[in-house]
A = this chain, B = another copy of it.
C-alpha cells in the first residue's frame, strides 16, 4: 500500500516532464522497436470519427470526434483498443498520442500481468483517462486472445440476461422527432436529452407516436431542486424510466434530494468517473453510468460494476462516439447491467471494426476471444 502511494508521489515528476515540449513529432508512431515474441509492442494512430449527423449539445455542435486507435502485438497475436475524445472531456489527439508515447510495454514479458501493467500505465501521469483506456482495451483484447476466451466468459457472465440498449432521439422539430421515433422501431428503449424549455413538448411529441419506455439525460440541466422533483414526477407519469444527471454534479445535496424524492431512479454521469466515485455516488444517486473512456478502461470499469452491485446500486453501461472496438469492449460488461446505452458506433460513418451487435434491441455479444472486435478495413498503424 505504502509503495503504491510512493509511486503516485513520484509520478508528479513524470507528469511535469510530460507537460513540457511539442508533441507534433510523436504523433502516429510506435513507441518501441521491439516486436518480437516475448515483448509487447504498442502502436497507435489518430482516427477521426466522421459523424453521420451533426451532433448537437446544449452548448455546441460538431461533425466529427477525435479518436486514436491502438494495438498491442505479442507473440503473433494482436489486441486492439481505442481512445475517443469528445472535446468537453479535456483530452485530444495530441494529449493521447503524447501519453501513449510514454508507455513502454517492452519492460513486461507477460501480458497477463494486467494488474502490474495497468498500475504502471495509470501512474505515468494523472488524468489521461481515454489514453489509459486505449491501452487497457488493447491489453484486454490481447489477453483474451492469449486465453482464448471473450471477457464476458472469463468473467463468467450469463448472456441470457442481456439488457435492451437505448436509442437516442436528437432534439429537433416535432415532425422530425416523430419521424426519428418511428425509425427507432428496433429499439425497446428511447433516450432523449433534456434540460431545455421545450422538455415537456419533446416528451409529449414522442408519446404521440409510441408508448415505449424513455430514459432522459438532463446533463446537469436542472438548477432548482423542487423543479427537478416536480419534473421527475411528471416524467414518471409519462413512462420515463430513469433520469441521468438531473442537477449540477457539484450540488451533492440537491442530487441526493432529487434521488430521495424521485419516483424513478437517478443515475450519475458527470458526477462519476473513476472507482472511488462509486462510493461518493452511493446514497446520492440510485445508480452509475460506467463509460470506459472515463473509467480508464475495462479493468477499472469491471471493478466499478462489481462494487456498485455490492452496494445495490443500479448500473448503466454507456459510451462516447466510438468505433465498434470501444463499444464491443464495453459490451463485455453488459450481461451484468440494468441498462445499456451503447449506440456510439451507430452514430459514425467510418466504423473500422465489427463486433457487438444490437439484435432486436438487445446487446448481443459474439464468442470471439478478447473484446470480440474485428477490423473491417486495413488499419495502417506505423
Contacts and interface: CB of A to CB of B under 8 A. Distances in A.
B310 A113 contact: no
Contacts of A310: 275-276, 278-279, 303, 307
Interface in A42-61: none
A21 interface: no
A335 B115 CA distance: 10
Contacts of A311: 279
Q: Which of A156, A158, A299, A307 has the most B CB atoms < 10 Å from its CB?
A: A156
A149 interface: yes
A158 B275 contact: no
B307 A156 contact: no
Contacts of A155: 115
A334 to B, nearest CB: 13
A335 B157 CA distance: 24
A143 B116 contact: no
Interface residues of A, number: 33
A137 to B, nearest CB: 14
Given A276-B310, A310-B303, A115 B149 contact: no
A160 B116 contact: yes
Contact of A115 (B116, B157, B338): B157
A299 B156 contact: yes
Contacts of A176: none
Nearest to A338: B1
Nearest to A146: B149
Contacts of A12: none
Nearest to A300: B310
A272 to B, nearest CB: 14
A200 interface: no
A148 interface: yes
A147 interface: yes
A139 B160 CA distance: 20
A209 to B, nearest CB: 28
A158 B113 contact: yes
A299 to B, nearest CB: 7
Interface in A210-229: none
A114 interface: yes
